[in-house]
């Protein structure tokens, strides 16, 4: 099995219906799919790779003194001293990470970082909104419905953040995760992943499946809020990152999420008479629950906000 790869440019041509159906399948059966010919210039993607890799090179020394490294070193020392198998580190991730938002402080080096990532984020924001319009169409919603839900019918600004991660080589793959298995809390996630070093996997029909690196593709996955808005037709899917012994995996994930003040509930269309399978709640309340239970099953999270 391989995660679907979809040519996004074919939405504009004679193969529009087929492409809509492919995206529907990606959302309904996989929760993940890869877009190629998505309209973001390759030249910009090359610059993004360059500035993010250079940014990590300037941060790499700091990772050597980070909590994951310290804990793993301590565990290995204890294993050697006691001549026994060490316990796995189940509460940390082997990840160097920082977040870019419109209003937070960005790295100043390399000098081209800010300009390049600002341009990239604008392109990603536009792509996210195009993808949401396709979801609207496939779900039978009015155009702009998902975006409107995320903004509280235009009263608030949706959240748009970009998580820049690197997963350095790890000396003990048996003792630590790159990123623990979880579903994403928010809306539509757009990932520009490393095209050389793998490690991302999704849970599909009880099996962990690799999200194969594809040059210049943007990986799309649906978060918990899209699952709710679609009343369960689209699923947020468990995914994880494995550690690797060689290669430094780059991962640039952008999250188009509801405003914390937005009210989320299953959407409806003219032909839909199905009962709502999810509660109605304020997204900020959901996030309060999520941050405490990110790596636990998602169903109790919905139950928790239902009880508020």
- Give the span between the Cα atoms of 230 and 2, in whole angstroms: 24
- Give the span between the Cα atoms of 160 and 301, in whole angstroms: 22
Cβ atoms of residues 258 and 158 within 8 Å? yes
The CATH number for 40's domain is 2.60.120.330
Nearest alpha-carbon partner for 110 in 167, 30, 51 = 51
Q: Is 129 helix (H, G, I), strand (E, B) or coil?
A: helix
> At which residue do the structure tokens 């996630």 appear?
189
Compute the residue count for the chain.
308
Q: Where are the alpha helices (DSSP H) in the chain?
A: 16-25, 42-64, 67-82, 113-139, 145-150, 224-229, 283-293, 299-306
> At which residue do the structure tokens 């996997």 appear?
201
Q: Print the domain residue range for 254.
A: 5-306
Nearby residues of 22 by Cβ (< 8 Å), 6 or more positions away:
4, 6, 33
Find the mean pLDDT for residues 179-199. Answer: 97
- Give the span between the Cα atoms of 22 and 196, in whole angstroms: 26
Q: How confident is the model at residue 39 (pLDDT cuts 50, 70, 90)?
A: very high
Is the pLDDT at 107 greater than 80, yes or no?
Answer: yes
Please list the residues that pair with 160 across neighbouring strands: 256
Is the pLDDT at 86 greater than 80, yes or no?
Answer: no
Q: Which residue has the higher pLDDT, 246 or 130?
A: 130
pLDDT at 272: 64
- Supply the DSSP symbol for 155: T
Find the mean pLDDT for residues 79-99. Answer: 83
Of the listed ranges 21-25, 63-67, 74-78, 141-145, the least confidently predicted one is 74-78
List Cα–Cα distances, 128 to 29, 58, 89, 122, in angstroms: 20, 30, 35, 10
- 188-193 and 263-264 beta bridge pairing: unpaired
Count how many domains the chain has: 1
Q: In what order do the strands lie in the sheet with 239-241?
A: 179-182, 239-241, 200-204, 207-210
- Give the span between the Cα atoms of 164 and 96, in whole angstroms: 8
Find the mean pLDDT for residues 241-268. Answer: 95
Of the listed ranges 2-16, 71-85, 114-128, the least confidently predicted one is 71-85
280-300 per-position pLDDT tens digit: 999 999 999 999 999 999 999
């Amino acid at each position: 099995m391989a995660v679907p790869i979809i040519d996004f440019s074919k939405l504009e041509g004679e193969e529009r219906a087929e492409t809509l159906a492919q995206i529907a399948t990606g959302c309904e059966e996989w929760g993940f799919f890869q877009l190629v010919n998505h309209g973001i210039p390759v030249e910009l993607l090359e610059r993004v790779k360059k500035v993010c890799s250079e940014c990590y090179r300037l941060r790499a020394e700091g990772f050597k003194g980070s909590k994951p490294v310290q804990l793993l070193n301590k565990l290995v020392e204890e294993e050697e001293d006691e001549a026994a198998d060490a316990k796995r580190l189940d509460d940390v991730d082997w990840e160097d990470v920082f977040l870019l938002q419109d209003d937070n402080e960005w790295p100043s080096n390399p000098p081209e970082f800010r300009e390049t990532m600002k341009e990239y984020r604008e392109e990603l924001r536009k792509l996210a909104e195009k993808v949401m319009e396709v979801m609207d169409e496939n779900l039978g919603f009015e155009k702009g419905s998902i975006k409107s839900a995320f903004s509280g019918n235009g009263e608030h600004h949706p959240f748009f953040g970009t998580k820049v991660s690197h997963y350095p080589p790890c000396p003990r793959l048996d003792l630590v995760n790159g990123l623990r298995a979880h579903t994403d809390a928010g809306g539509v996630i757009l990932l520009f992943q490393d095209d050389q070093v793998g490690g991302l996997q999704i849970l599909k029909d009880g099996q962990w499946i690799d999200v194969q690196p594809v040059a210049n593709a943007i990986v799309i996955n649906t978060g918990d809020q899209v699952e709710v808005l679609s009343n369960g037709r689209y699923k947020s899917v468990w995914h994880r990152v494995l550690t690797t012994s060689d290669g430094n995996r780059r991962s640039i994930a952008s999250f188009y999420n509801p405003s914390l003040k937005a009210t989320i509930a299953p959407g409806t269309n003219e032909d839909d008479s199905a009962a709502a399978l999810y509660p109605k709640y304020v997204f900020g309340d959901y996030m309060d629950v999520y941050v405490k239970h990110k790596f636990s099953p998602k169903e109790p999270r919905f139950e928790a906000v239902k009880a508020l």
